[in-house]
Amino acid sequence: MTEDVSEFDEMDAEEQGVVKSQLTTLVTDFRSLAAAELEYIKVRAAYSGRIAKWTGIYIILALVAVSGALIIIALGSLQLLAEQIGLLAATIAISAGLILFAVLCARLARRSALKLVFKHSESEIDD
């Protein structure tokens, strides 16, 4: 490092001015590039945020619609079964069916979640 400084000191004033000018231009260009990169990241984050917001809204609307449909199916089934086996037995049958369906979905979700594994080292990848 001291050799580089001594080489700079040995240059005449004109050469030193050129080097300083080039360094100033380099620093200015780097600052401009950094500012542009930051602005790009901000714009990209804002764009992604808007997409995520609308995706979330659409998912909520879809879940509300599916929930409404499931309620209608359950009520319709209850009404049909109530005529055949009585209201209390139909209520118990529909509730038991929905509980079994929920347990099945929970088990499938658990099985799917257990497949999610993050391998950290080379030895774990080979296993």
Instruction: Say what the pLDDT of residue 4 is.
Output: 58
How far is the C-alpha of 98 from the C-alpha of 55, rounded, in Å?
A: 28
The three-state secondary structure class of 86 is: coil
pLDDT tens, position by position, 1-51: 555 556 766 777 778 788 888 889 999 999 999 999 999 999 888 888 888
Instruction: Say what the pLDDT of residue 109 is.
Output: 87
With both helix axes pointing from N to C terminus, report the angle between 87-114 and 13-85 in degrees, rounded to the nearest 10: 150
Q: What is the pTM of this model?
A: 0.49
- Domain residue ranges in the chain: 2-115
Question: Which residues lie closer than 8 Å to 89 by C-beta, 6 or more apart?
Answer: 81
